[in-house]
Structure 1
C-alpha cells in the first residue's frame, strides 16, 4: 500500500523553482526602480523652493526680491505671491497691502478689478495704462535725465525715513495735487522716483523702478528702508506678479502650466529609469561568431571571374589600375616601405632596387591606362618583370 499521508512535493517544488527564477530575473530592475523612486521622493521633498524669475519673492538672484521678502517675514509681515488676478483680488482685503509688479500683461478689465479692491496698493514698474487706471490719472511715467542718488525732498514720512534712494532712468510725474512725488530729479522739477496719494479711502504708492527692491540694489542708499516701509504697512502683503500665459487666471493653456513644480525632476528621473532598464535588457553583443560558407570559392577562380568581368565591360583602365596597385603594394612591402608611402617614395625605391630610370618606373606604375587588350597584356608582362627584378634584389 502507498503511504497516503506522505506530502506531494512535485508541484510545490516546481512553483518555488518558478518563483525563484522569476525573482532572479526581476530583482535587478525592481531594485533599480526602488532606488530611483526613493531618489525622486527625496529630490522632491528636499528641493528648495527657489525661483529664477525676476522680481519673484523666492528668487535669491540679483533680479529677485527674496531679501526684502525675508526681512519683511522676520518683521511679522506674511508675504504671499500670487500669479492670477483672481487670487490677487481675493486676497486684497481692507487692512492689507497688494503689490502689483510687472503690469504689462494686465488688460483693462484686470486693472479695473484691481482698482476696486479695498487694500492699499503698491504699484511697481507700472505702464502708462496701469498708472492711469490705478492712480486715477494722478501719476504718469517720466524720465530721469541724470540717474544717481536722489534725496527725499518731500514730506512723506516713508521717504523722509529713507532719506535717499538710487535712481535709474525711470521716473514719475505728478499730474495733479493729489499725488506727492519724492526723490525728485534736480534737473526736472515735479518728477521723482516715488509717488504716494490717497485715493478712495486707501493709499496708493508707486515705485518708478523695481531695481530699488531687487537683491542687487536693495542695500544701496536708503533703498531697503523705503522698500520695507512701503511694503510693510500691514501684516499681510500680497505680491501679485502677473504671468504672460494668462493675465486673468494665471492658468495658461499649455500642459506645462497645469503640471506641479516637481513634474520636471520626476520626468527626468523616469527617463533615467527607462534608460537604465533599456541598457539592462538590451541584447549583449558578444564575440563575432564565424559561420561556414555554403560554397568555397578558390582565389584563382575569383581572379579569373573578375578578369572576365573587366573584359566583358571593356574596363581596361580598372584592370590596369588593379594590376599596378598590386605590383606597387607588393614591391613596396618587399623593400620595407610603409603602406602609407607616397608615389614618389615608391618610384625612387623601385628605381634604386632595379636600376631602372625613375621615369620608366613611374610610367609603369602611374602611367596612362592602356587603350586596347594588347597594350593591357604588355603592361601586365612589364609589371610582372618589374616585380621579379625587385624580388631578385
Structure 2
C-alpha cells in the first residue's frame, strides 16, 4: 500500500516577512532647536530661583537674624545711630505703632502684607515716614501704590544716585538697581524724588511720605558692606527717633471691622475701615476700603463683620507674575530663536533630510508609459516635437555606433551614416534632419524610415546594399 504525503502549508515563521518601513525622524530637526532653547531658559530660571531667598523665610531681612539674608547688621547700625528699633510681627500692630507719629515704618515683605493694610499707609500722620522694600507688581496693584508698572532684573546692579534726595546723595553709588518702577499715577501720589535709574522712588500720598527701594540687597547682612549700601540703608531708616520694623513672613487674613461704640475712642485701626453706607453719598468713609455695610457672620463676634467682601469697583487687575519672572531680553531671545527656526523651515521647505526611497504604489509597464506619452503628443498635435524626440535619440545612438565625437558636425555625420548604411546621403539627410511632418501618416512614415536607417547601420554587413523602404519626395528613384 502506497501512501502519499501532502506538504503542509508553510508556517508564519517560514514565510518572508515584509520589511518594516523606517520611521521618519525629520520632524526632530524642526522641534529639537526651539525645545532645547526653551529647556535652557527654564533650567536657568529654576537654578536662579533656587538660589534666591524667599520672603516667607523667617531669616529674610529679619532684624534679629545673623544669616546672610538677615538684617541684624543693619539693625545694629540703626541702634548705634540713636534710633529705637521696635520689631512687630503683625501689620495691624505695626500700623497702630506708626499711627502715633514721629517714626519710620519699614515694610520688608510687602507681597505678604494684606492689601487693606497696605492701603492704610496713606492715613498715617505726616511725622511718620514709610520705607517699602521691593514691592512687586501684585503688591503695587493690590495696595494702590501709585507706580505704573515694575520691571525686575535677575540681579541688582550698582548705579549713581542721579538725584538730590539727601539719603541717596550722601550714600553715593549703591546696589539698588534691580526692580525699576514706572511713572507715578498723579491721582494716587505726588513724586518727590526718583533716584538710581528709577529704582528708588519717593512720593507723598495724603500726609505720609513713602520711599520705595527697588532691591533688598542694601539691607542684607551679606551685601550691606558693599559700595554705599550701608550709608543708604542707614540714612533711610534713621530720619526719626523710632524705627518700627515689620518682620512679617506669612500671609495675613483681611482685617475685621467693628461697630462697637465703646471702641470709638480707642487707638485701634484707622477709622477708614468702618463700613461704607452705600445709601449715603456724603458718607466720609474711604472708598479704598469698600465695605457693603455691617453683616454679622457666624464665625465672628456680634457687632463685627468681615472685610472679605467684593469691592463695588474692582481694583486694577495685577499683571501676570510670570512675565516679571524673566528679564526682558529673554523674551527677545526666545522670539529670535523661534523666528530663526521658522525661517530655516521655510528656506528648506520639504528638504529637512536626505531623499527617502519609497516603493511605488503600483508597477507600470514601460510600454504603457510610452503609449500614454504618445497619446499626450497626439492630443496636442505635436507631430514635429514627437519626430524630433525620435531623431535626437537616433542621432545619439548612431554617433555611439559609429564611434564619432559627441559634437560631430552635421555633414560628417551624414557622410558616415551613408557610408555605413549604404543609403544615399540625401536620403540620410532627409531622414535625420528633414522638415517636420504635416499629417499623422507622414509622421508614421518618417518614424519607420528612421527605424530602418538605424537598423541598416546596426545590421550592415560587407557586400550588402540595403535600400530605403519608400522613396521620399525629391529622392532619385
Q: Which structure has the bigger radius of gyration?
A: 2
Structure-2-length-normalised TM-score? 0.37
Greater RCO, 1 or 2 (C-alpha within 8 Å, sep 6+): 1
Structure-1-length-normalised TM-score? 0.45
- The answer to which structure has the higher helix fraction is 1
